[in-house]
Structure 1
Amino acid sequence: MAVALTMAQMKLAVLRNSMSGQRAGFVVMGAIGGLVLAAGTIFVAFSGPDLLAATYAVWMLGWIFGPAFAGGGDETLRPEYFTSLGLPPRRLASGLLVAAFVGVAPAISLLALSGLAVFGVRQGVAAALVSLPALLLQLAIFVLVSRVAVAVLGLALRSRVGAIGAGLVNGMILALMGQIWVVFVALGEVGGIPPVVTTLARYLPSGWGLAAVEAAASADWARAGAFLGSMAVFIALLLAAWAALLTRRAGSARAATRGRRPIRATTASGAVLAKELRTWSRDLVRTHYLTFALAYGLSFAAAPLLMGWAGMLPWAGPIFVVMAAGMSANLYGTDGTALWLTLMSPGASDVRGRQYAWLLTVAPVAVVLTLCLTAVTGGPWPLMLALLVALLGGGAGLVALASVYALIPGTDPHRRGGNPLRYTEDDGAVTGVVYAILALAALTALPAAIATAMFGWAGVGVGAVTGVLCYWGFGLLAERRLVAQGPELLDMMRTGRKPASKPGGRTRFEELPLRRRVVAGVCFSVGAIPLFPQGLLAGYFKASGNSTRSWFLALYLPPWLQWPTIVFMVLLGIAVYATGVIASYGHKKEAA
């Protein structure tokens, strides 16, 4: 117990002293979003047990698959820090488990699980009393399931098959969670949640607490005790599994010893290209991210098939390109201090070589996806081709630009710990850059989409020109930055400290007041909703005469209100993004 309390105090001290700068902004934004979801869960507790069981199943899925998208989850205290103490695995796991309950995510989950208490109070005194230990045990299950999932994923990423499998599963689950509205529409068409789904949600570990409360409400004490006991046993099994996985995590991955074909490049750019192509094929973290982007694009586009609509299938290729750009937004950070090789080779076009390699890795898959799925649905050919060429060029340019201008110091690949997804200490910053690149990559296709809606096939030419300009222009900016600030970037990756901004110059984002960072983060997160799906995409459906209304608000209104609503949504999205940009701009005096 002393070890557990000490670890909890250590985690609390680390969190207390690190809540500044950009990390604090991301924590506040995440807390606001989590509080909204928790309030919605408590509201669901008033509707009935079936929907509440399904909601807690979604919470458990978030705990399992969320860390895969957020840099390996919260590991403020890493197991590697305590290997020299000689603690038994189960004691180490118990201490880390207690420390895991210290943080924003467990507090928000506890608030969401208070829906069990709300439901219990509505059922009677006995059910209310049972709901208290049930929600605590349920929270322990959520936290432990997440820890075991991260440990299993870390082991999986030590083999190519495991990295590909983990990427496929994570991409499919997160895409379906992003398309949850499709599930709701499909359930509405069949008259609600099917009984088989309800039964499955009740008997998943996420529903055992609710089942115990229901049993107590009907005075079935044997059943209530059985579910509570099962939760305690399951927690013990998870703790034992986590302890065993921690011992496996302590081992280091062995380097492959088989011979490698030598690089026979004759130019500096060719050498960079060959090196990058080999990295994309051998780095298991990059393999995982690329597979994740592919699975996400396919699953996101195929989800509307649940309600009988195949019109989104051609979008799998463009979505894959956008996700691949987002997941590649910190290429230099993932390579660690290997940048010194480039700095010691004057004249080497490292940026262009990375752009070539990214295109050769992503473009073939995206082209095959787009052509095949557009042929299946019979179009729209101009829009898909225009978006594809624009996004490929924009993605290649933005990946290079973000890797230099928004570099996040990372761990050298050969020094990665047992959680390969966590290659940097500032996972919040990495997540923010990923989301920013997702939005910016989508914006690079905006001119092509508008031109296609207005002029048809001419939009393909606009997309090609936009893609080439983004590829060349963003790459040129990145190359100049690398030449001018290369030593500073290398020092930042080596020490983890960003260089101080110049006196009187513009304030960096992490130096802005917390209020401005929160406003900017919220604007950049929600601005895409009115601009793209409710505005531009709805306008394309309206202009093309497509009768599918889906979830586009404007298409449900009377015809005379549809175009004004679409224009309003586009202007609203632009205004939200503009507010975020204005909030991101500050001066040294204001920051002080």
Structure 2
Amino acid sequence: MVAHFVRLRLMILANTFRRSVWQMIGYLFAILYALFVIGMAVVGAVAGGGVDPQLTGQIILLAGALAMVAWWVVPIFAFGTDATLDPQRFVSFGIPRRQLLTGLTAAGFTSIPAAATVLVSVGLAFAWWRTPALIPVALAGGVLAVALCVMGSRAVTTALAPLLDSRRSREVLAVAALVPIVMIGPVISWSTTRLADGAASGDQVRSLVTDIAAVAGWTPFGAPWGIAPAVDAGDWGLAGARLMICLLSLMLVVIVWDRGLARALVTPPTAGAGGRGKGLGWFDRLPSTPTGAVAARALTYWIRDPRYSASLAVVPLLPVILAVAGGSGGLNEIILILAPLTAWILGFAISADIAYDSSAFALHVATGVSGRADRAGRALAIGVPGALVVSVFAVATCAVTDRWDLAPMVLGVSYGALGVTLGVSSVTSARLIYPVPKPGDSPLKQPQGAAMATFVAQMAGMLASFAISLPVLVLAVLTLVVGPVFGWIALVVGIAGGVTVCVLGVRFGGRWFDRRTPEIMQQVMAQA
């Protein structure tokens, strides 16, 4: 039965490769990236083990604990990312629950993250190469860690399935997940800067790592990785306690998963009840024209669809990120790029609008909406509120930095970036259709193999936007180098250029839309 589940999982993976060459290319890139990360981790561990085995062991404990936390937490936010062996699919086969649990566990090791975790666990064991007798101990701890990672991930998602069956809960969790993910980089940068500014000595760093590892070692996340360091230090009692924590945690994980699986096999998933709306919403407020109808529909998506609102959730975090990037001095002139950066993000957000429509795109085809009305409605839906947000950010950043002499330049670059990216996105979204998360899915979920197609499409849009924005960018540089007079020129050029590119993008994108409507419909439905 176990071999059958593993073979089934591999067959499903092979079939996805036959269906799309992009999926195979994306999978190969993911494998190469995983191998690079594995190599760096193993080389670092082996080198550190030759210099200071105890400190290296504590660092491995902390890194391993973070990895296990990610294994347990990320699937909650990216619920449904890999449902190829969903227990619901086996309800009608009458497979005994224990065999099903064992088979699903074995199949879980066929994913890239699981295989990478196994290889890293094996490689990290050789950090103790100066004491060969500890290598088997470290390998045993790695086996327990991998088992807790894979089975703990399944247990958590299965136990929380009733909550995650609610669409509203999934939407809130998906958007909330972006906050810690976006803040990872700034937090690391801030920590590094603080250590450098504080001129922390090696003993202080070692003491900090040891104290944190001592606490993490008493949790299920760090205990497997802490067995070998405890044995190396001669603390057999601590090693035994950490082993017991691992075994008890593994037993608890199996029980939770088994009971969750039993419930999943007899309780069908429930669809979240839709909210009871009053009136027609934006359709009541906007003109009764094709462009107004498309804009109303797009605005509704921006508010209610987490795939859209996830893009907006990043915007309030940008001031924090830029403040951290400015260094220990806090808010400085680097925050002046807040408005242009926000404009670029908002304008580029509609580059996959048609792909996000999924099967609902048939409404545009069936009702005969013209390409120009479709392009204009989508651009207006984000362009008008985007211009207001960008204006507020530009004025606020100039006030905070007390650089009112740069206000015209900042506004010009911001309006130009918004108009240019809206125009370019209006063209690319009608020409380059790539796989995106389906309606109702987590915004963190990416279809298998979509990475390369997404990269090519977005890179083409970014390069085009940058090339078209060069005049106003050159004027911005001249403003900083020569004088504020070029800032006023940048304001005029930015507004005129942004409006011109946006109008031309809507026009040419509309022509492409009208000319390729059947092909666009075919591409969208193939991904629905």
Partner of 1:495: 526
Q: Which moved more, 1:181-190 or 1:423-432?
A: 423-432
Contact 1:336 1:411 in 2 (8 A): no
SS at match of 2:129: helix
Q: How far is 1:131 from its partner?
A: 0.8
Q: How far is 1:338 from its partner?
A: 1.4
- For residues 446 and 355 of structure 1, the distance between their equivalents in structure 2, rounded to whole angstroms, comes to 22
Q: Which of 243, 265, 281 is the aligned partner of 1:228? A: 243
| Matching of residue 97 in structure 1 with residue 105 in structure 2 | yes
SS at match of 1:307: coil
Q: How far is 1:357 from its partner?
A: 0.9
Point out where structure 1 has 5 or more consecutive residues left out of the alignment.
498-592
Q: Which of 469, 476, 480 is the aligned partner of 1:452? A: 476
Q: How far is 1:172 from its partner?
A: 3.5
Superposition pairs of residues 276-295 of structure 1, within 5 angstroms: 276-291=298-313, 293-294=314-315
Structure 1: which amino acid aligns with 2:276? T
Larger radius of gyration: 2
Q: How far is 1:208 from its partner?
A: 2.6
Contact 2:323 2:335 in 1 (8 A): yes
| Matching of residue 120 in structure 1 with residue 128 in structure 2 | yes
SS at match of 1:18: helix
| Matching of residue 256 in structure 1 with residue 275 in structure 2 | yes
SS at match of 1:224: helix
Structure with larger RCO (C-alpha < 8 A, sep 6+): 2
Partner of 1:332: 354
Q: Which of 499, 505, 512 is the aligned partner of 1:474? A: 505
Change (3 A) 1:423 1:187: closer
Change (3 A) 1:437 1:105: farther
| Matching of residue 213 in structure 1 with residue 213 in structure 2 | no
Q: How far is 1:268 from its partner?
A: 0.9
Change (3 A) 1:453 1:236: farther
Q: Which moved more, 1:175-184 or 1:478-487?
A: 175-184
Change (3 A) 1:75 1:161: closer
Contact 2:3 2:103 in 1 (8 A): yes
Contact 1:176 1:300 in 2 (8 A): no
| Matching of residue 199 in structure 1 with residue 249 in structure 2 | no
Q: Which of 492, 514, 519 is the aligned partner of 1:461? A: 492
Contact 1:116 1:209 in 2 (8 A): no
Once the two structures are superposed, residues 321-380 of structure 1 have per-residue CA deviations (whole angstroms, 9 ceiling, x without a partner) of: 444556654222222111221112335411210111122454444443443244223345
Change (3 A) 1:179 1:464: farther
- For residues 433 and 132 of structure 1, the distance between their equivalents in structure 2, rounded to whole angstroms, comes to 41
Percent identity over the alignment is 23
Q: Which of 340, 365, 372 is the aligned partner of 1:343? A: 365
| Matching of residue 354 in structure 1 with residue 378 in structure 2 | yes
Q: How far is 1:301 from its partner?
A: 1.7
Partner of 1:535: none
- For residues 479 and 473 of structure 1, the distance between their equivalents in structure 2, rounded to whole angstroms, comes to 10
- For residues 34 and 398 of structure 2, the distance between their equivalents in structure 1, rounded to whole angstroms, comes to 37
- For residues 328 and 97 of structure 1, the distance between their equivalents in structure 2, rounded to whole angstroms, comes to 40
Partner of 2:483: none
Q: How far is 1:471 from its partner?
A: 2.1
Change (3 A) 1:388 1:279: same
Change (3 A) 1:342 1:175: same
Q: How far is 1:79 from its partner?
A: 4.6
- For residues 351 and 76 of structure 1, the distance between their equivalents in structure 2, rounded to whole angstroms, comes to 36
Q: How far is 1:114 from its partner?
A: 3.5
Change (3 A) 1:431 1:148: farther
Once the two structures are superposed, residues 504-531 of structure 1 have per-residue CA deviations (whole angstroms, 9 ceiling, x without a partner) of: xxxxxxxxxxxxxxxxxxxxxxxxxxxx
Structure 1: which amino acid aligns with 2:139? L
- For residues 144 and 170 of structure 1, the distance between their equivalents in structure 2, rounded to whole angstroms, comes to 25
- For residues 422 and 244 of structure 2, the distance between their equivalents in structure 1, rounded to whole angstroms, comes to 54
Q: How far is 1:476 from its partner?
A: 2.7
Partner of 1:578: none
Contact 1:336 1:409 in 2 (8 A): no
Contact 1:297 1:323 in 2 (8 A): no
Point out where structure 2 has 5 or more consecutive residues left out of the alignment.
49-55, 480-485
Q: Which of 323, 341, 344 is the aligned partner of 1:302? A: 323
- For residues 442 and 153 of structure 1, the distance between their equivalents in structure 2, rounded to whole angstroms, comes to 42
Q: How far is 1:420 from its partner?
A: 6.7
- For residues 189 and 132 of structure 2, the distance between their equivalents in structure 1, rounded to whole angstroms, comes to 36
- For residues 436 and 33 of structure 2, the distance between their equivalents in structure 1, rounded to whole angstroms, comes to 27
Change (3 A) 1:223 1:144: same
Change (3 A) 1:169 1:36: same
Structure 2: which amino acid aligns with 1:118? F
| Matching of residue 81 in structure 1 with residue 105 in structure 2 | no
Structure 1: which amino acid aligns with 2:145? Q
- For residues 425 and 82 of structure 2, the distance between their equivalents in structure 1, rounded to whole angstroms, comes to 26
- For residues 425 and 498 of structure 2, the distance between their equivalents in structure 1, rounded to whole angstroms, comes to 13
Q: Which moved more, 1:210-219 or 1:31-40?
A: 31-40
Partner of 1:266: 288
SS at match of 1:308: coil
- For residues 461 and 64 of structure 2, the distance between their equivalents in structure 1, rounded to whole angstroms, comes to 29
- For residues 150 and 375 of structure 1, the distance between their equivalents in structure 2, rounded to whole angstroms, comes to 47
Partner of 1:432: 455
Change (3 A) 1:459 1:116: same
Contact 1:53 1:198 in 2 (8 A): no
Computed over aligned residues only, the root mean square deviation of the Cα atoms, in angstroms, reads: 3.9
Contact 2:350 2:379 in 1 (8 A): no
Q: Which of 172, 179, 185 is the aligned partner of 2:180? A: 172
Change (3 A) 1:435 1:490: closer
| Matching of residue 368 in structure 1 with residue 392 in structure 2 | yes
Q: Which of 124, 132, 135 is the aligned partner of 2:139? A: 132
Give me the TM-score of the superposition, normalised by structure 1: 0.70
Q: How far is 1:272 from its partner?
A: 0.9
Q: Which of 373, 391, 401 is the aligned partner of 2:417? A: 391
Structure 1: which amino acid aligns with 2:211? T
SS at match of 1:407: coil
SS at match of 1:330: helix
Q: How far is 1:442 from its partner?
A: 6.8
Partner of 1:23: 23
Q: How far is 1:41 from its partner?
A: 1.6
Contact 1:313 1:373 in 2 (8 A): yes
- For residues 282 and 70 of structure 1, the distance between their equivalents in structure 2, rounded to whole angstroms, comes to 18
